[in-house]
Amino acid sequence: MGDRRRSRRLAAVLAVTGLAFTTAACGTGSGGSGDDPNTLEVWTRSNPDSAATYGRVFATFTKKTGIKVDYQPVINFDQQLQSRASTKDLPDVMINDTALMGSYQSQGLLKAVDPDSIAGHDQITAKSWASTVGIDGKHYGIPYSRQAQTLMIRKDWLRKLGIEAPTTWQEMLDVAKAFATRDPDGDGKADTYGMVVPGSAQNGYAAWWGSSFLWQGGAKIVEPDGQGTYKPAMDSAAAVNTVTWMKDNLFCGDNAVTQPGALTAITSTATNFQDGNAGMYMTGPYNITTFDQTLGKDKYEVVPAPAGPAGGDVLADGENVYFGAKTGKTKQEQELAAFLISPEGQKIAMTGENQPVVRIPVNSTLDAAAVRDDPRWSVVQKAYEDASQQFPNAPDFAPIKQDTADSLNAIFTYCGGDVRSQLKELNETLAGDLKDQDLLK
Amino acid sequence: MTATVTTPAARGGRRPTKKALVPWLFLAPGLLLALVFKFWPMAKGVWLSFFDVRPFLGDRWTGLDNYTRVLTDHRFQDAIGHTLVLGIGQSLGAIVLGFVLALLLEGQARLLKIVRTAVFLPAVTATAVVGELWRLMYYPTSDGLLNSGLNLFGLGPVQFLDNPDLALWSTMAMGIWIWAPYNMVIIMAGLAGVDRSLYEAAAMDGVSLWQRLRYVTLPAIRPALGIVLTLAAIRGLRVFTEVYVLTGGGPAGSTEVWMTRAYTLGFTRNDIGGASAASVVLLCVTLLLTVTVNYFRKRGDVR
């Protein structure tokens, strides 16, 4: 008797808990806009400053079309997206890095896109469209913004020391050493550094920053064989030479060439350029707004990255518009995408007081420098068009990038190691990553 | 025990049942929250650890594959080593320092209260904030706070975080600094319960300070130490924020601990199954450790 009562009580408690759980799950899952067909939930990976720019873009879109946008700027995008994915309820539209497309697609998070279904698709170049083709040959994103790395350099320091901006690796080293030793800020103290390096393995930074050097040295991380499969290429002679050069000159030689703490620095902690104590920073143009505000527009200039033995190719990157899988608002999503890539949509996102969210426009009728009335942007646009490479978009590049970063960080940390055997080991790891994805040749 | 529980119910009638429900009603909000935010995700984590997780393509059952992968991965093996060194060093350091602080700061004087509050501050500050502060303190040139101090003695500058041989110890020092005050408070509570007459008796017998600590103080605060030790063991194993903020596991993985590795696996490499397996292993080890510590504590108490 007593037991039965107790079990009934337990059943009641469980029922109540179950109910509460279902409500809680609904509350967190749908973000409040899941049912209204005329409202799109849109996520971008943005801080509050760039979110303000997106806010203006979406406001104009709503005014023009009547389609409402429930806009969520998400800083830790990947973590949030994974947890939303686990409840099988994704945002309708996401804007995020191009290099993540393979990863998202391999998890089934994206809806395939037919370029012809997006109004104005012909204003995007074939090169840009090509970067959104997934492993199965279908498009999984719409190009939105592009960028390429350039060298930011202190022109007042160059002038003071009477030297020129570097165009080769050797010149870059000489300039870095001059910045570190010849007291370019004139305060009589040895407190300046040659260049800023976000060299931590965290989030794959070392591979992200180092990839431009690898390409300039003629090396590749993985190579496509033209039949949809890939092979790892970090054991090539070019890779060994390049990584050895980086190790000997940037990390294990005169240590004032890079900023202190470079091996544990990520972009948010590598602030030496904007703090005014480092003279060079090879990075993307999204930093231009920040540097203009913190350092001052007159203090630095934007130049093409110095070339290595195999040329001057830099890392190109950018954002795509993605449609989340399993939502039924395709028409509205296509309208939003069409607006985002239209000259008007791109212009709003490129200008204004806040951080621009379109760097190099994907719309070929626009010119970055002309829209902004700022010739520095033509340097970036030229780098993107003429001398840039992207991480392969089809495979899930996340593990490949992380393993490469882990390995590079270790090579740069332990100066006594043997680069050739360390890279050989990395190559085997990369082969394993490709094999996991059934992409190994 | 059983008798007392079943008696009211056996007597029948509605009133006793209602009475028995009241504590459950009070407990309900907490239980619900725990169930939704703790036990359900935990159960789901255990479940996911047996799958290749692909939410939209359908999870693939892989059995113990994730576990073998995690346990044979040399990075995880390194991480175990680091976790143990960091956990044990940090726990012992924080307990010893907490004990010393408690002895020094025990008492009623008003000034002591102020000092105690000041000393307790690290324990209430967010770990992420503390991490950022220590990053600045460890700045590897003579401009850094610690290095400018060393500079006065003609030493340094020391690469606290960028030297793979030093990074783990630097992280440990910060951990001790954060957790010592926390232990101090618990030990102090233990000290308050020490029978003063024992000290007087000891003084009469003319024992040394060390003997007084060894034979009077330590046995008296044994329960407090037990609690501190249990908490420290659990905390030591799941250390994450300190490492993530300070070094991100670097340089060259020299400070990678179990949780940072699981985090990288889950969120950088999108391998949720593997990350779940790693977390389940950690859960099991933590449970085992807690039970062991408790067992020895109880045995000690009985003796």
Query: Could you report the predicted ipTM of this complex, rounded to two decimals?
Result: 0.81
Res B215 pLDDT > 70 = yes
What's residue B290's pLDDT? Answer: 82
Q: Which residues of B touch A202 (CB under 8 A)?
A: 248-250
Tokens of residue A39, six digits: 């409202």
pLDDT tens figures, B109-136: 788 888 888 888 888 888 889 998 999 8
Alpha-carbon Rg for chain A in angstroms: 24
Question: Backbone phi, then psi, for A314, in 5-degree steps?
Answer: -120, 170
What's residue A255's pLDDT? Answer: 64
Give the gap in angstroms from C-alpha B252 to the nearest C-alpha of chain A.
Answer: 4
Q: Element (H or E) spanning A422, and its range?
A: helix A419-436
Distance of CA A138 to CAs A230, A426, B201, Å?
18, 31, 86
CB contacts under 8 A, A 16-35 vs B, are: 16-17, 20-21, 24
Res B248 pLDDT > 60 = yes
Q: Which residues of A touch B23 (CB under 8 A)?
A: none
Q: Which of B145, B162, B256, B259 to mutate to test the interface with A (most CBs of A within 10 A)?
A: B162
CB contacts under 8 A, A 227-266 vs B, are: 260-264, 266
pLDDT tens figures, A175-224: 999 999 999 988 888 889 999 999 999 889 999 999 999 999 999 999 98
pLDDT tens figures, B134-187: 998 998 888 888 998 898 888 878 889 989 999 999 999 999 999 999 999 999
Beta pairing, strands A193-196 & A278-283: parallel
Q: What is the mean pLDDT of residues A116-127?
A: 92
C-alpha to C-alpha distance for B297 and A340, rounded to whole angstroms: 65
Q: Which residues of B touch A438 (CB under 8 A)?
A: none
Res B3 pLDDT > 80 = no
Give the gap in angstroms from C-alpha A133 to the nearest C-alpha of chain B.
Answer: 19
Q: Is A191 on the interface with B (CB under 8 A)?
A: yes
C-alpha to C-alpha distance for B118 and A161, rounded to whole angstroms: 49
| Closest to A362 in 3D by CA, of A376, A375, A350 | A350
Res A279 pLDDT > 50 = yes
Tokens of residue B22, six digits: 């009241």
Res A430 pLDDT > 90 = yes
Res B8 pLDDT > 50 = no
Q: What pLDDT band is residue A31 in, cutting at 50, 70 and 90?
A: very low
C-alpha to C-alpha distance for B208 and B194, rounded to whole angstroms: 18
Maximum C-alpha span of chain A: 96
Give the gap in angstroms from C-alpha B53 to the nearest C-alpha of chain A.
Answer: 8
Q: How many CB atoms lie within 10 A of CB B60?
A: 12
Mean pLDDT of chain B, nearest integer? 86
Q: What pLDDT band is residue A34 in, cutting at 50, 70 and 90?
A: low
Question: Backbone phi, then psi, for A35, in 5-degree steps?
Answer: -95, -30
What's residue B4's pLDDT? Answer: 43
Does the predicted model carry a pTM greater than 0.80? Answer: yes
| Closest to B161 in 3D by CA, of B153, B171, B152, B151 | B171
Q: What pLDDT band is residue B274 in, cutting at 50, 70 and 90?
A: very high
Res B278 pLDDT > 90 = yes
Q: Which residues of A touch B27 (CB under 8 A)?
A: none
Q: Do A9 and B55 touch (CB under 8 A)?
A: no
pLDDT tens figures, A104-119: 888 889 999 999 999 9
Q: Do A9 and B21 touch (CB under 8 A)?
A: yes
Region for residue B249 given its phi and psi (left: phi exceeds 0; alpha: psi -120 to 50; beta: otherwise) = left
Q: What is the DSSP letter of B255?
A: T
Q: Could you tell me which chain A residue has the CA closest to the CA of B244?
A: A202
- Please measure the distance between the N-terminal and C-terminal CA atoms of chain B and give it in whole angstroms: 25
Distance of CA A168 to CAs A178, A193, A309, A311, Å?
15, 19, 9, 9
Mean pLDDT of chain A, nearest integer? 88
Query: Best-predicted range by mean pLDDT among A44-48, A353-357, B56-60, B200-204?
Result: A44-48
Report the amino acid identity of residue A67.
I
Q: What is the mean pLDDT of residues B5-32?
A: 71
What's residue A306's pLDDT? Answer: 95
Q: Do B35 and A21 touch (CB under 8 A)?
A: yes
Res B13 pLDDT > 50 = no
Q: Which residues of B touch A413 (CB under 8 A)?
A: 162, 164, 250-252, 254
Is residue A388 within 8 Å of residue A148, measured between CB atoms? yes
Is residue A424 within 8 Å of residue A235, measured between CB atoms? yes
Q: Which of A6, A264, A408, A428 to mutate to test the interface with B (most CBs of B within 10 A)?
A: A264
C-alpha to C-alpha distance for A274 and A291, rounded to whole angstroms: 6
pLDDT tens figures, A230-261: 999 999 999 999 999 999 999 998 667 999 88
Tokens of residue A98, six digits: 């191009």
- Please measure the distance between the N-terminal and C-terminal CA atoms of chain A and give it in whole angstroms: 69
What's residue A249's pLDDT? Answer: 93
Nearest-CB residue to A260 (from B32, B141, B247): B141
C-alpha to C-alpha distance for A110 and A136, rounded to whole angstroms: 13
The residue that leads in pLDDT, A428 or B20, is: A428
Tokens of residue A383, six digits: 């780098």
What's residue A33's pLDDT? Answer: 46
- CB burial of residue A168 (10 Å; 0-12, 13-18, 19+): middle
Could you tell me which residues are beta bridge partners of residue A42? A71, A93
The count of CB pairs under 8 A between chains A and B is: 125
Res A133 pLDDT > 70 = yes
Q: Do A79 and B269 touch (CB under 8 A)?
A: no
Give the gap in angstroms from C-alpha B298 to the nearest C-alpha of chain A.
Answer: 32
Q: Do B269 and A398 touch (CB under 8 A)?
A: yes
C-alpha to C-alpha distance for A344 and A349, rounded to whole angstroms: 9
3-state secondary structure string across B69-99: HHHHCHHHHHHHHHHHHHHHHHHHHHHHHHH
Q: Could you tell me which chain A residue has the CA closest to the CA of B267?
A: A79
C-alpha to C-alpha distance for A299 and B65, rounded to whole angstroms: 56
Q: Is A396 on the interface with B (CB under 8 A)?
A: yes
Res A172 pLDDT > 90 = yes
Q: Could you tell me which chain B residue has the CA closest to the CA of A400?
A: B269
| Closest to A332 in 3D by CA, of A18, A33, A83, A17 | A33
Q: Is A78 on the interface with B (CB under 8 A)?
A: yes
Q: What is the mean pLDDT of residues B17-35?
A: 88
Nearest-CB residue to A261 (from B40, B140, B252): B140
What's residue A370's pLDDT? Answer: 92
